[in-house]
Structure 1
Amino acid sequence: MISSRRLTHALAPLALVLLAACQTTQTKPDATPDTTAATPAQTTPAVPATPSTSAPQEQQQGAPVGIFLADTKPHADWATVEVQPNGTLYVNPEAILTNEDLVGVQAGTGENPEIGLLALDLNPEAARRLAKLTTDQPNMRLALVVGNTMLAAPGYSQPVTEGRLIFMVGSEANALAAAQAIAGEGATPNQTPAR
């Protein structure tokens, strides 16, 4: 896992540069949905975030996952990402959560079956760090990047204190593809815009 963290840290700046070209998040400028407000009503079975096998050489590597602090206001040294059609998002290039912080991932839908939800379960230490960060940095956004694609960047108005993050990522198929990619099952999220 140390090598995947190094890889994630090395790829994070590149991923942020590439986000302008492959941005998939569509949000309204005044909308700040809470990342913990929705609970998947229909979900696929939980998939371990880092699947294990009996032989280390056969272990699958999941797609790099990064959760980044983001804002609609400029910050020094933060990457600028054009979010079509709504404007600009400023993203801290240092990931606050990565694959190593995940203990599980689920895909499903909420009350509206048209909207896919991706739930990321955090280990206790990651949940504690996230609660402190969202307390210290109120009214920002949490940008979810899987591979080289930003899938969502919802805002939060209160500290995120649960050990689970839930993101709207477009369709249920897109949520399932993202969950499989994170778990190392070969699928990658498509370019369906998140709603």
Structure 2
Amino acid sequence: MSAKLWMSRTLAPIGLLALAACQTVPQKTDADAASTTAAPTTATAPAQQPAAAQNQNAEQMMSPVLVFLADTKPQTGWAEVKVGENSSLYLEPEAFLALEDFTGVEAGRSESGEGLLALDMSERAIANVTRVTSANPGKRLALVVDGTLLAVPGYSEPITSSRLVFMVGSEQNAVTAARIIAGDTAPAPTQAPARK
């Protein structure tokens, strides 16, 4: 199994991601997640942050969607997120994309049944993603929706497209994430309405 596929299947059901020395509790988002064992996740702050940075981080955490630069190797100044007992993920403490950077969202499913979440970006966001991925080759993008880490895909070359597509486990995960990002808090229908 490829590392990318393993990471997406392992990290999709992991619960709330909190940066700056907060404990998180794993959450299951659908029936598919019930068969996956999620381990406690702990985020550790690299150093005490100034008040202005803490305020900016607090504002970011209010966003329903954030994208962080991430890596599986320790990086100076990055927050360590414990994933299970023996593995860690390292995230840049400040997200480089948030809700205002996206112009559209779409949920779908791959041919193999994996849930896909597509995020259309503004021109400014496209330039930002290209700049960040060019300056940081071989890293990962950590997708956080409503405080939940959904995907951490790697990239091998700069990203220049107008759309980011993430594998998020199940199609239900994709639909739920898309609704949260779009601001639709109504529960998804459980069955189709009866025809008259």
Flag whether TM exceeds 0.5 (same fold).
Answer: yes
Percentage of matched positions with identical amino acids: 51
Indicate whether 1:80 and 2:80 are aligned.
Answer: yes
| Residue deviations 1:13-39 (CA, integer Å, cap 9, x gap) | x8325575338899xxxxxxxxxxxxx
Indicate whether 1:22 and 2:32 are aligned.
Answer: no
Instruction: Number of aligned residue pairs: give it.
Output: 139
Deviates more, 1:174-183 or 1:74-83: 74-83
The runs of 5 or more residues in structure 2 that have no matched partner are 1-16, 37-61, 188-196
The residue that corresponds to 1:151 in the other structure is 150
The residue that corresponds to 1:37 in the other structure is none
The residue that corresponds to 2:141 in the other structure is 142
For residues 151 and 19 of structure 1, what CA distance do their matches in structure 2 show?
17
| Residue deviations 1:72-94 (CA, integer Å, cap 9, x gap) | 11112211112237711000110
The runs of 5 or more residues in structure 1 that have no matched partner are 1-13, 27-61, 189-195
The residue that corresponds to 1:106 in the other structure is 106
For residues 186 and 107 of structure 1, what CA distance do their matches in structure 2 show?
15
The residue that corresponds to 1:173 in the other structure is 172
1:1-195 pair list within 5 angstroms: 15-16=18-19, 17=21, 20-22=24-26, 64-84=64-84, 87-113=87-113, 115-186=114-185
Scaled by the length of structure 2, the TM-score of the pair is 0.64
Aligned-partner residue type, residue 21 of structure 1: V
The residue that corresponds to 2:191 in the other structure is none
8 A Cα contact 2:69 2:142, kept in partner: yes
Deviates more, 1:153-162 or 1:82-91: 82-91
8 A Cα contact 1:145 1:151, kept in partner: yes
| Residue deviations 1:109-164 (CA, integer Å, cap 9, x gap) | 11112x10000000011001101110111000000001111001111011111011
8 A Cα contact 1:117 1:168, kept in partner: yes
For residues 155 and 126 of structure 1, what CA distance do their matches in structure 2 show?
18
For residues 69 and 91 of structure 2, what CA distance do their matches in structure 1 show?
6
